[in-house]
Amino acid sequence: MTRPTAGALQRRAASRLRAAGIDSAELDARVLLAHALGADAGQLLVVSEQPVEVDAERRFDDAVTRRSAREPVAHITGVREFWSRPFFVSRDVLVPRPETETIVEAALRAKPEREAALRILDLGVGSGAILTALLVERPNATGVGVDRSMAALALARSNFDSLGVGARALLVRGDWGRSLDGTFDLVVSNPPYITSREIGNLEPEVRVYEPAAALDGGTDGLDCYRAIFGDLGRLLAPDGAAVLELGEGQEPAVADLARRANILVNGSAVRDLGGLPRALLLGSRGYKKTLGEGREPH
């Protein structure tokens, strides 16, 4: 019996995914096929006319069935790229998103000296993507990641170790900054910021498969910012900088919360590639430098 080729399987899968209402059908089929074959997406052109073994076809069909049910591709493959590096992901954490790289970019501009021995704090560390990216780019820095979820902390540890920053990263189970002592040169966070009433309107990939605790920001979406600002002032070093991710339309409200907590707001939020204000730049009252200095215009 003639086995189907990789190209034929990919085309058939893309058709199935389109029928399931998935806009990224072609891309998802390509990624899932590469995963099933143990290859990278760039190799598919080379093997497109080659027959696929039974076991690989079964793995691919299973993956396509799961994706048709709107399970995220990253959960099926177990990996998502962020900052050009592969991160393990699971249903215990948010899948790292491209817009969150804006937080990393803004934080690096706030502390531009590559060899600086920074103390970095990531509040709500999740998969560890933000903190890992910063430790990779600042090789003399050390980091602390805080999360309430033990499963998230275990996954973050796996990512730290696999990407070579484990020796410089400490993980703490806690509620934002409440249990922490000392000060930090750089504080970053991507807190839950979706309003409770909006959760039910999210795409199934998010609503069903990602942890509600990492999404739900309360009635107005600002609960976690309030908690962060309750401790941020004492956690920031005198020349410290903080970068917080924002949801759409939240910049004025979050900036107002910061000012009420006596936290310095350093200009307008940095916009992501979609043009949305995404990274709010903050500093302690002793911070003399403008965080956005040298930032490229948007």
- The residue with greater pLDDT, 203 or 291, is 203
The mean per-residue pLDDT over the stretch 187-203 comes to: 97
Q: Is the pLDDT of residue 226 over 80?
A: yes
Taking only the tens place, the pLDDT of each residue in 95-140 is 999 999 999 999 999 999 999 999 999 999 999 999 999 999 999 9
* Mean residue pLDDT across the chain: 93
* 277 has a pLDDT exceeding 70: yes
Long-range contacts of 217-224 (CB under 8 A, 24+ apart): 217/191, 217/192, 217/193, 217/247, 219/195, 220/195, 220/253, 221/193, 221/194, 221/195, 221/247, 221/250, 222/193, 222/250, 222/253, 222/254, 222/257, 223/192, 224/124, 224/176, 224/191, 224/192, 224/193
> Picking from 112-126, 228-242, 277-291, which range would have the lowest pLDDT averaged per residue?
277-291
Location of structure tokens 């410089």: 168
pLDDT of 40: 78
The SS3 of residue 288 is: coil
Kindly state the average pLDDT of the residues 256-262.
96
pLDDT of 165 above 50: yes
Mean pLDDT of 233-250: 96
Let me know if domain 6-69 sits in CATH 1.10.8.
yes
Q: In this structure, are strands 264-265 and 236-245 parallel, antiparallel, or unpaired?
A: unpaired
Question: Any idea what the Cα angle at residue 113 is, between residues 168 and 126, rounded to 5°?
Answer: 40
pLDDT at 45: 65
**Residue 89 in contact with residue 100, Cβ under 8 Å?**
no
Phi, psi at residue 194, to the nearest 5°?
Answer: -85, 135
Confidence of residue 296 (pLDDT cuts 50, 70, 90): very low
Where do the domains of the chain lie? 6-69, 79-283
SS (H, E, C) 81-149: EECCEEEECCCCCCCCCHHHHHHHHHHHHHCCCCCCCCEEEEECCCCCHHHHHHHHHCCCCEEEEEECC
For 106, what's the count of Cα atoms within 13 Å in the CB-facing half-sphere? 35
Among residues of the chain, what percentage have pLDDT more than 70? 94
pLDDT at 251 over 60: yes
Query: What is the pLDDT at residue 46?
Result: 61
Pairing of strands 277-283, 236-245: antiparallel
Q: Which of the four pLDDT bands, split at 50, 70 and 90, describes residue 2?
A: confident
**Res 285: pLDDT:** 60
For residue 57 the two structure tokens come to 């076809």
The yes or no reply on domain 79-283 and CATH 3.40.50.150 is: yes
34 or 296, which is more confident: 34
Q: In which band, very low, low, confident or very high, does the pLDDT at 244 lie, cut at 50, 70 and 90? A: very high
Q: Which of 93-127 are b and which e, b meaning 16 or more Cβ less than 10 Å from the residue's Cβ? A: bbbbeebbbbbbbbbbbbbeeeeeebbbbbbbbbb
- Flag whether the pTM goes above 0.85: yes
Over residues 239-247, the mean pLDDT reads: 97
